[in-house]
């Protein structure tokens, strides 16, 4: 009944969806899986009307439709169950359920709370949640909030005639095992009226619940499998796709590292609510990477090394001595450089030019008593522009106007030119095109040759495997398994994924 | 089309100066007497305290904050200068400057360490300064001892080779803050904080200290402005500098330093202050009364904010 045909969507620099065909029948539960960046969220946004496709058609029961916004999609019975953040926590449960649809309870602008409470009670009953609708949402548990979300989406049943499609976006991420089962139970019961699209990183759950599963990769649907015939390993292979190209990650340039020179050591370090009992050493010339799903604690480790988080337990040494203040300033002074995921927010200063950005972390080296030696700054910048072949008309060009790859090079130049020898890379190739990615990989090898150590949170698993000497797998903030990534002896994707989920 | 927008973009930094030239020509056509060099010099010398205050305000706005306490700091300083002139002589100036620096630094501390937005922190500090001014003055308009005033500050209002010393002071201060902005690590850090605070933090800059210093400098300049104003009028009073605040903000914003910070700077504030002067003298010439003038500046302020603000930096406005 709901069908997408040859849908394309492009964003600046990214072809997010390529000729995607998607179909969901009455009462069907369809799973949607893929790695980060495969196009799942773009596809969902198109389905519930938050994005419009560039080309291709949307049909409901054979009629072609175009939504301008998600409100219009709701009018056609398409609802979205957001991860818990869509509830406004200081409103009551009933206010949340009917947010934006209060008019039905109002007389001349005055809301009749009693009738709203009654209607809310009715919705809550659908999800078997026995709470007072006038409870303030912040007092509910996460599982209860998730059910309130579902109740909110189910108000569509009364508002719309005909069939409903409800998207479930990672609905189980905050739920305990038995709560997940309750939710699944509920979803199955509702299929007499509702079709569901279920998106989750937890493949076993997708397999359990779905009738059919769409597997996405690089903006394409690479396969559709029947739920009862699906096999986890097979799906994983399809999500990840192509074989790893050794040339691509410059594996021939991967040299052994200097065992004797420890740059960073963690000894059972914890940061409350982020990660626990993590131990590792980073040595000169080594690339260490942390892999795990979103929220596994990998980014938090980088931020801790950079002084943005303070450990709540364990011992943390940088070049054999502990931090005294645990601030970013100290981290920078001790030779740690951070290449953040949010390149345009934390990486470069948009509005400052190339040389200003490069010297920002090392102003004292380019000044006498606070007065800048701008000539030297420019020479430094010109040097690095040439060294890293940064494409910019001049070093006085605003960094905000450079392409993503060149911005990333400016950030790397900032740290390397200042002599940083511990480089933290957080999704360093995110949003870059292939050529720019390869430049980043070259730079990683260059830095190792210069004796720097790198801690990597890669954009994809292949990248982590291809680049690293050592790979740590994390799950829910805890260490799972350490793999040796020496050339010729690299673990496979499936080895890693197995410990991630 | 593309080239047309390119030229408009590349001209953007000069908009305040272009506006100034156009305004001067228009007012000059209406009233040719306006363009006489001597009357122009007098006109400009007259607004030196406002200009200095606006330069200070530029620090606060350049980092993306605002300082609403400047007018009250200036009020307080007029009282301090008048009350302590006889006792301290020229050193009263040091006392005034320290007062401004400390009040500004406290505002900065409240903003950075207590996470109170600068407009509230400085507003509150302004009220504290006002109240201190009232207390110290006994809620009266005070006059300076005429002899001491002439001996200590009389030189400010004389001329050197035909140029009013007030203008020389203003030019010196402008040069100083311009140098600070463009040639020092502090100035570079200010720009980084204004344009991309998170990246500045992630580069290891001591962002809190930079912000506190920016507010302290704003307070200091407000104190210098108050001191000059007090010497000029030979007295002090808790309401003496009223009316300066809105003009100082208008001068900075019309000059092209947006509330979101990171671009513009001291030379822009020079242009902005001159624009304010020209508009004000035009209104006087057109016999718009003083009460209406405030309204005009209110409207200009709103328009200037709306035109200059960088909306990509703000997600929510409350």
Average pLDDT, chain B: 91
Contact B195 A372 (CB under 8 A): no
Closest chain A C-alpha to B289 CA, distance in angstroms: 42
Determine which helix (DSSP H) or strand (DSSP E) holds A463, and give its type and residue range: helix A461-467
Q: Which chain B residues contact residue A414 at CB under 8 A? A: 203
**ipTM summary value:** 0.89
B63 touches chain A (CB under 8 A): no
Closest chain A C-alpha to B302 CA, distance in angstroms: 24
B32 to A71, B28, B273, B286: CA distances (angstroms): 61, 5, 21, 13
- Asked if A56 contacts A4 with a C-beta cutoff of 8 angstroms, the reply is yes
Q: Which chain B residues contact residue A374 at CB under 8 A? A: 183
Hey, of B187, B202, B262, B313, which one would you mutate to test binding to chain A, going by the most A CBs within 10 A of its CB? B202
Classify burial at A185, counting beta carbons within 10 Å of its beta carbon; exposed 0-12, middle 13-18, buried 19 or more.
exposed
Taking only the tens place, the pLDDT of each residue in B178-205 is: 999 999 999 999 999 999 999 999 999 9
Label residue B62 by pLDDT band (50, 70, 90).
very high
Query: Residue B192 is nearest to which of A329, A332, A360, comparing CB atoms?
Result: A360
Half-sphere exposure of B247 (CA within 13 A, CB side): 24
Contact B196 A332 (CB under 8 A): no
The CATH number assigned to the domain with range B37-309 reads 1.10.3470
Residues of chain A with pLDDT under 70: 12-14, 36-37, 83-85, 174, 240-246, 433-434
- Asked if B295 contacts B246 with a C-beta cutoff of 8 angstroms, the reply is no
- If you count residue pairs, one on A and one on B, with CB atoms under 8 Å apart, how many are there? 75
- CATH 3.40.50.300 intervals, chain A: 2-240, 245-335+424-501
B64 touches chain A (CB under 8 A): no
B188 touches chain A (CB under 8 A): yes
Q: How far is it, in rounded angstroms, from Cα B182 to Cα B250? A: 23
Nearest CA in chain B to A353: B192
A208 touches chain B (CB under 8 A): no
For residue B2, the model assigns a pLDDT of 44
A371 touches chain B (CB under 8 A): yes
Neighbours of A237 (CB within 10 A): 16
pTM summary value: 0.80
A331 touches chain B (CB under 8 A): yes
Query: Which sign, positive or negative, has the C-alpha torsion B202, B203, B205, B207?
Result: negative
Q: Across chain A, how many H-helices and E-strands are there?
A: 17, 24
For residue A100, the model assigns a pLDDT of 84
Contact A332 B204 (CB under 8 A): yes
Helices B207-233, B70-88: inter-axial angle, 10-degree rounding: 60
Q: How far is it, in rounded angstroms, from Cα A400 to Cα B129? A: 41
Neighbours of A271 (CB within 10 A): 20
- Asked if B255 contacts B271 with a C-beta cutoff of 8 angstroms, the reply is yes
- Asked if B92 contacts B136 with a C-beta cutoff of 8 angstroms, the reply is no
Label residue B8 by pLDDT band (50, 70, 90).
low
Taking only the tens place, the pLDDT of each residue in B257-285 is: 999 999 999 999 999 999 999 998 888 88
Taking only the tens place, the pLDDT of each residue in B209-228 is: 999 999 999 999 999 999 99
For residue A146, the model assigns a pLDDT of 85
Contact A329 B198 (CB under 8 A): no
- B-contacting residues of A 387-416, CB under 8 Å? 414
The mean pLDDT value for B61-74 works out to: 97
- A-contacting residues of B 72-111, CB under 8 Å? none
Q: Which chain A residues contact residue B184 at CB under 8 A? A: 367, 370-372
Domain A245-335+424-501: state its class. alpha beta
For residue A171, the model assigns a pLDDT of 82
Is B1 a residue whose pLDDT tops 50?
Answer: no
Secondary structure of residue A288 in the 3-state scheme: strand
For residue B3, the model assigns a pLDDT of 47
For residue A431, the model assigns a pLDDT of 72
For residue A489, the model assigns a pLDDT of 82
Contact B201 A332 (CB under 8 A): no
The fold for domain A2-240 equals Rossmann fold (3.40.50)
B189 touches chain A (CB under 8 A): yes
Secondary structure of residue A440 in the 3-state scheme: helix
Contact A356 B191 (CB under 8 A): yes
Secondary structure of residue A490 in the 3-state scheme: coil
Contact A340 B202 (CB under 8 A): yes
Taking only the tens place, the pLDDT of each residue in A255-264 is: 888 888 999 9
Secondary structure of residue A107 in the 3-state scheme: strand
Query: Which sign, positive or negative, has the C-alpha torsion A64, A67, A68, A71?
Result: positive
């Amino acid at each position: 009944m709901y069908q997408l045909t040859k849908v394309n969507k492009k964003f600046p620099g990214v072809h997010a969806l390529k000729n995607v065909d998607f179909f969901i029948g009455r009462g069907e539960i369809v799973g949607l899986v893929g790695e980060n960046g495969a196009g799942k969220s773009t596809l969902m946004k198109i389905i519930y009307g938050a994005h419009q496709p560039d080309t291709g058609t949307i049909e409901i029961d054979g009629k072609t439709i175009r939504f301008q916004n998600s409100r219009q999609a709701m009018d056609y019975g398409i609802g979205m169950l957001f991860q818990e953040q869509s509830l406004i926590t200081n409103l009551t449960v009933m206010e949340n359920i009917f947010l934006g649809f209060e008019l039905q309870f109002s007389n001349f602008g005055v809301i009749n709370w009693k009738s709203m409470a009654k209607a809310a009670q009715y919705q809550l009953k659908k999800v078997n949640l026995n709470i007072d609708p006038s409870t303030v949402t912040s007092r509910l548990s996460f599982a209860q909030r998730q059910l309130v979300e579902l109740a909110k989406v189910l108000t569509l049943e009364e508002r719309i005639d005909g069939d409903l499609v409800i998207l479930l976006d990672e609905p189980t991420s905050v739920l305990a095992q038995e709560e997940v089962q309750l939710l699944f139970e509920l979803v199955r019961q509702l299929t007499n009226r509702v079709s569901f699209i279920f998106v989750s990183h937890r493949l076993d759950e997708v397999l359990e619940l779905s009738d059919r599963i769409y597997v996405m990769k690089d903006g394409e649907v690479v396969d559709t499998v029947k739920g009862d015939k699906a096999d986890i390993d097979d799906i994983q292979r399809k999500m990840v796709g192509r074989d790893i190209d050794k040339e691509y990650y410059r594996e021939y340039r991967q040299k052994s590292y200097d065992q004797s020179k420890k740059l960073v050591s963690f000894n059972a370090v914890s940061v409350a609510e982020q990660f626990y009992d993590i131990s590792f050493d980073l040595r000169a010339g080594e690339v260490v990477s942390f892999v795990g799903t979103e929220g596994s604690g990998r980014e938090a480790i980088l931020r801790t090394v950079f002084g943005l988080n303070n450990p709540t337990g364990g011992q943390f040494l940088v070049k054999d001595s502990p931090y005294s203040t645990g601030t970013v300033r100290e981290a920078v002074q001790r030779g740690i450089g951070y290449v953040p995921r949010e390149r345009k927010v934390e990486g470069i200063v948009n509005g400052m030019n190339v040389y200003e950005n490069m010297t920002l972390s090392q102003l004292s080296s380019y000044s006498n008593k606070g007065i800048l030696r701008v000539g030297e700054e420019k020479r430094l910048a010109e040097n690095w522009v040439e060294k890293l072949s940064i494409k910019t008309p001049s070093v006085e060009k605003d960094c905000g106007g450079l392409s993503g790859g060149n911005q990333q090079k400016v950030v790397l130049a900032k740290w390397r030119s200042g002599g940083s020898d511990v480089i933290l890379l957080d999704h360093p190739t995110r949003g870059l095109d292939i050529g720019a990615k390869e430049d980043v990989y070259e730079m990683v090898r260059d830095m190792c040759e210069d004796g720097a150590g790198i801690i990597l949170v890669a954009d994809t698993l292949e990248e982590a495997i291809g680049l690293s000497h050592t790979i740590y797998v994390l799950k829910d903030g805890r260490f799972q398994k350490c793999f040796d990534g020496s050339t010729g002896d690299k673990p496979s994707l499936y080895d890693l994924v197995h410990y991630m989920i | 089309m593309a080239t047309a927008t390119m030229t408009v973009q590349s001209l953007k930094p000069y908009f305040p100066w272009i506006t100034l030239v156009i305004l001067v020509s228009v007012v000059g056509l209406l009233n040719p007497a306006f363009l006489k060099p001597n009357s122009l010099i007098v006109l400009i010398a007259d607004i030196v305290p406002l200009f200095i205050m606006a330069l200070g305000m530029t620090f606060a706005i350049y980092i993306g904050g605002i300082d609403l306490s400047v007018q009250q700091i200036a009020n307080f300083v007029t009282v301090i200068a008048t009350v302590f002139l006889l006792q301290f002589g020229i050193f009263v100036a040091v006392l005034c400057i320290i007062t401004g620096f400390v009040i500004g630094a406290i505002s900065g501390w409240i903003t950075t360490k207590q996470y109170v937005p600068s407009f509230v922190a400085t507003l509150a500090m302004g009220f504290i300064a006002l109240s201190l001014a009232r207390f110290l003055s006994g809620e009266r308009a005070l006059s300076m001892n005429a002899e001491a005033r002439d001996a200590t500050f009389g030189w400010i209002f004389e001329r050197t080779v035909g140029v009013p010393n007030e203008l020389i002071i203003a030019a010196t201060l402008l040069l100083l803050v311009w140098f600070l902005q463009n040639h020092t690590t502090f100035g570079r850090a200010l720009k980084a904080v204004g344009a991309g605070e998170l990246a500045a933090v992630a580069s290891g800059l001591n962002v809190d200290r930079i912000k506190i210093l920016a507010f302290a400098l704003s307070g200091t300049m407000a104190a210098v402005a108050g001191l000059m104003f007090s010497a000029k009028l030979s007295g002090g009073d808790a309401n003496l500098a009223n009316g300066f605040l809105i003009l100082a903000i208008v001068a900075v914003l019309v000059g092209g330093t947006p509330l979101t910070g990171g671009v513009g700077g001291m030379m822009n504030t020079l242009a902005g202050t001159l624009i304010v002067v020209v508009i004000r003298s035009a209104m006087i010439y057109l016999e718009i009364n003083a009460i209406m003038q405030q309204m005009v500046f209110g409207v200009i302020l709103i328009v200037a904010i709306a035109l200059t603000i960088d909306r990509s930096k703000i997600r929510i406005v409350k």
